[in-house]
Each structure stands twice: as structure tokens, then as C-alpha cells.
Amino acid sequence: MSRYVDPTEQLVIEVAVTDIRRSVAFYRSLGFELLRDDGQFVELTWEGHRLFLEQRAALGPEPAGAPSFRGTNVRVMVPDVDACWALVQAIGAPIVAPIGDRYYGLRDFTITDPDGFGIRFASRLPGR
């Protein structure tokens, strides 16, 4: 299959948030960079890969019986996960899974943003 767009523009996650300013501040404090801010829609980047935030009210009313998106997370690969762990502890991010070496070859942890969306920071374990 031929490539339609650059991989950094493919499979982008969009997170519906309740307070766009609070969420932008949170993600930027973690190290995400601001690419575009249209008020109720924001594009953030991490090493060129995009993450979209959308103010919940801008999406219109939630349909009756709509499923919750909670329980989902996005993985961010970093060279020093322990430094990220220290940062999230310093900013008081809610922790879902504390840092640890995992059977799948990563040292990682998971936190949530202000709306409960999971962010998992990970580094490869040596020799993996």
C-alpha cells in the first residue's frame, strides 16, 4: 500500500476535554509542544507526532447511551522514563500505574490527564 500522508499525520488521537485551557497547560507541562490553537481545538506535538484536544462543548451534546472513552491511553516513548516519572510526580499528575519494568520489554507508567485520558510514558529496557 502506498503512503497517503506522512506517518506523523496518521492515526492521530483526538481527546475530548472539558476545559481546553487546563488540558493544554497540563500537556505542555509534560513536554508536549503547541502546534496550533483554534480556541476550542488544539494540536499538540511530541517529536512531530500529533495529539488533538477538542473542547467537549464544541462537539455538541453527547448522544444518549454514548460509550465513555475512559480506560484508553496513548503511549509516549522517551529516552529516560525515570526523568518523566519525576516530572509527573512534581506536577501531581494522577497515577494509574506506577513506574516499573514490564514483561513486554518496557519500563513504563501511566497517568491521566484532567479528563481521565491515559498517558503512558515508556523507555525500552536495556537489551530489549
Indicate the domain borders of the chain: 7-61+72-124
Quick one: which of 126, 75, 124 has its CA closest to 97?
Answer: 75
Q: Distance (Å, rounded) from C-alpha 75 to C-alpha 68?
A: 19
Per-residue cell: 6: 506522512
pTM higher than 0.85 for the full model? no
Classify the C-alpha dihedral 121-88-109-85 as positive or negative: positive
**Do the Cβ atoms of 109 and 101 come closer than 8 Å?**
no
**Do the Cβ atoms of 105 and 124 come closer than 8 Å?**
yes
pLDDT category at 20 given cuts 50, 70, 90 is very high
Q: Which CATH architecture has domain 7-61+72-124?
A: Roll (3.10)
pLDDT score of 87:
97
Q: What is the pLDDT of residues 76-101, one digit of tens each?
A: 999 999 999 999 999 999 998 899 99
